[in-house]
Amino acid sequence: MSVSSNAPTVAIVGATGAVGQEFLRLFEERNFIHGDLHLLASARSAGTTTEYRGEQHTITELTEEALEGIDIALFSAGGSISKAYGPTAAAAGATVIDNSSAFRMASEVPLVIPEINGDLAESYRTGDGRGRPGIIANPNCSTIIMMVPLHEVRRRFGIERLVISTYQAVSGAGAAAMRELDAQTRDVLEGREPTREIFARQCAFNVFSHDSKVHSETGRNVEEQKMIDETRKIWCDDHIRVTATCIRVPVMRAHAESINVTLRQPASEAEFRAALEATEGITLVDDREANDFPTPLEASGRDPILVGRVRPDESMPSEGGKHCAFDLFVCGDQIRKGAALNAVQIAERVMGS
């Protein structure tokens, strides 16, 4: 039992949601040491229970008073809740690790992927492991799944441009969206008209542009703009060129992304692969002979991001076996590394564990 009276008091805001429940599973799997644990959610969920480490824990209503005395607060209840209660928790002394988009682009809030810029989380560390007050933002799931595989590539060769197409699972829209895909699939197979409550379009047996708002002038939706803005902030590079097309697919969990990367310094395929093999947080699944490459199903429930279809982009210039661009295909579990795992890793950096 990894509970200690000397360890930080931890709160999970949005404890009944898909990411909130994943926090609890990760605490168990990673032997996450904490003191008192406060599971907070809406008034509708208050009084219900959830199992954790073999015991039933009661959900408490999220209020300002419920955030008093918290050392580490993991927020995953949506942007409006984060904006309303995140600063309150920080003012009360908590290190807030927020999974929404509410604070990602705020200049004073670090946007952290531990494998890339974990030192920013470590700057919140205190001698007692309880963390200093403030807010740390968790990036968008698509941004995380794209950036982790490319970090060592960028360190060795630099990156000039990224072209990304995403194939995003319904888990990105939460537990209700996952239930809707399940229900729609049954409806279609049994000849009924599928109900649509979460997505405007039928998700089962369909593919459609990501359901975030589209800017009338740029033509980019919110998800695509997040990938551009967050990449530049995390890598501290306002000049990197990024373009994305984000698509929703009828997959339960784990996002897939097709990535074309243009390097600043050309590399051989062997050098490019060596950089990937040295990258923390990924697993190469790239067997051309067996046609074995990453799939969302295989990535589901796993911590590493799966990387495959690695190949030079021969439509771009090359010379002497050195290529300036490469293609790859990646799959990562949106609920784990794309959300809950990244936040827990940040908490571990803050606590020094």
Our answer to whether residue 255 is catalytic in this structure is yes
Given 34, 151, 255, 323, the catalytic residue: 255
Which of 107, 26, 109, 48 lies closest to 340 in space, CA to CA?
26
DSSP string across 42-105: -TTTTT-EEEETTEEEE-EE--TGGGTT-SEEEE-S-HHHHHHHHHHHHHTT-EEEE-SSSSTT
Our answer to whether residue 141 is catalytic in this structure is yes
Given 34, 38, 141, 323, the catalytic residue: 141
DSSP string across 270-284: HHHHHHHHT-TTEEE
Structure tokens at 40: 């907070």
Structure tokens at 8: 């930080």
Evaluate whether 59 touches 45 at the Cβ level (below 8 Å).
Answer: yes
First to last CA, the chain: 16
Query: Rg of the Cα trace of the chain?
Result: 21
Q: How many helices (H) and strands (E) does the chain have?
A: 10, 16
State the catalytic residues. 141, 255
